Structure 1
Amino acid sequence: MMTHPIKLIVIAFCVVQGAGAMAQTLSRDEYRAGRDALAADYKAAKAHCASLSGNANDICRAEAAGKAKIARAELDLRDNPSRQARYTLGVARAEAAYGVAQQRCDDRAGNARDVCVKEAKAARITARAEARAQLTTGDANDLADEKAATAHQEASSTANQARREANIDKREAQYSVAREKCDVYAGEAKQHCLERAKAALGQP
């Protein structure tokens, strides 16, 4: 019996699609092997850090821990490609950078250290806000795809709100840094510095 050509095309398409989907994920053995390799790398990195002392040791350990978290998030993304996994990776990168920055700030003193810490926190807030906005926007678009035009309008509104909230978080973080920098001044000079910061960042 002859098989209809259209059926053959459909079957071939499904096979290709299935192969593509499988290529995007890992087998259990591959995932376990990847996890074991990450654990070995982290152990080796910590051993290297043990040869250092003082704040260099702290920075090294923060870098090792951050890289391990990022690598694990990347492995999870390969194993299960999804928007949530990409968000988790974005957060891991933000936290890793923040952890290292905190330790590097310890090499400074006084206002320079305070500013460094504020800048590290601002960078962390900005990165997390951006990751959250992308996640919220993507989820809203997915919901809209399942519904009618009205849902698309709602999705657009949700995405815009997510962006507005992210921008507010960023400006507040930047203002926190600016205020810390103004602490090097006193009296009227400090007041002018704060007023300029408020005006530049739209703070009340």
Structure 2
Amino acid sequence: MNKKLAMLIVCSAAFSSAAWSATSEKSAAYTAAKDTAATEYKLAKAKCDAITGNPKDVCIAEAKAARVHTESNAKAEYKNTLAARTSAAKDIADADYDVAKTKCGSLTGNDKDVCVKQANADKIAAVANAKADKKVVEARVDANDDKRNAEYKVAIEKCDALAGPGKDSCVVAAKTKFGK
């Protein structure tokens, strides 16, 4: 019995250190991505200093957008949740909108109005796509849960045809297979 307990402790320690290592690696990758984004932003912004007027504003907005893209994607990867991925898509849409709107700054009159409206339409479309993607994933998860529950009910129904220990093992196998 002591050998089993010792083996259990060793296995638990191995699994927990592997999980900690994976979390540590994800955290390190996230931190590295944020640092890289900050460094690249500083370099891009420094290149913008040589430019003047609206092109400089566009250059800075593009540098900021690149930073947002990198940081948002890294954060979504680190958190690895549907909400994080949706939030990242929305942040990216906002950053891209800022770039497009800044590009409109050099225009005048109706051309500028059309440009701003197009930038806004693109942002609305990107946010709507992010929300739609989230709903699609949620619907697929719900559908898979419904399928799994239906399959579980079928498996339990098959077990009802058995009796005694055969039925008990069939029910245990069904519960194990479907995570019940």
Report TM bin, short chain.
0.5 to 0.7
Give % identity: 32
What CA deviation, in whole Å up to 9, does each residue of 1:67-89 have, x standing for no partner?
A: 11110011113323232232223
Once the two structures are superposed, residues 40-72 of structure 1 have per-residue CA deviations (whole angstroms, 9 ceiling, x without a partner) of 111112222222111011101110111111100
What residue is the counterpart of 1:40 in the other structure?
39
Counterparts of 2:91 and 2:143, CA distance in 1: 28
Task: Considering fraction of residues, name the structure with more helix.
Answer: 2
Residue correspondence of structure 1 range 112-131 to structure 2 within 5 A: 112-131=111-130
Is the contact made by 2:76 and 2:84 (CA closer than 8 Å) also made in structure 1?
A: yes
For 1:102 and 1:128, the matched residues in 2 are separated by 16
Aligned counterparts of 1:116 and 1:76: Cα–Cα separation in 2: 31
How far does residue 147 in structure 1 lie from its aligned partner after superposition?
4.0
Find out whether 1:99 has 2:109 as its counterpart.
no
Letter in 2 for 1:30: A
* Count of residue pairs brought into register by the alignment: 134
Segments of 5+ residues of structure 1 without an aligned counterpart are 1-10, 151-204
Q: Which amino acid aligns with 1:90?
A: A
Under a length normalisation based on structure 2, what TM-score does the superposition of the two structures give?
0.63
Indicate if the aligned counterparts of 2:72 and 2:92 stay in contact, CA closer than 8 A: no
Structure 1 Cα separation of the partners of residues 73 and 102 of structure 2 = 24
Across the aligned residues of Structure 1 and Structure 2, the Cα RMSD in angstroms comes to 3.0
The AA in structure 2 aligned to 1:56 is: P
TM-score by length of 1: 0.56
Q: Is the contact made by 1:66 and 1:92 (CA closer than 8 Å) also made in structure 2?
A: no
**Of the two, which has the highest radius of gyration?**
2
Tell me which amino acid in the other structure corresponds to 2:132: A
Structure 2: how far apart are the matches of 1:95 and 1:139? 24
What SS class does the counterpart of residue 76 from structure 1 fall into? Answer: helix
SS of equivalent to 1:27: helix
CA distance in 2 between counterparts of 1:99 and 1:108 reads: 15
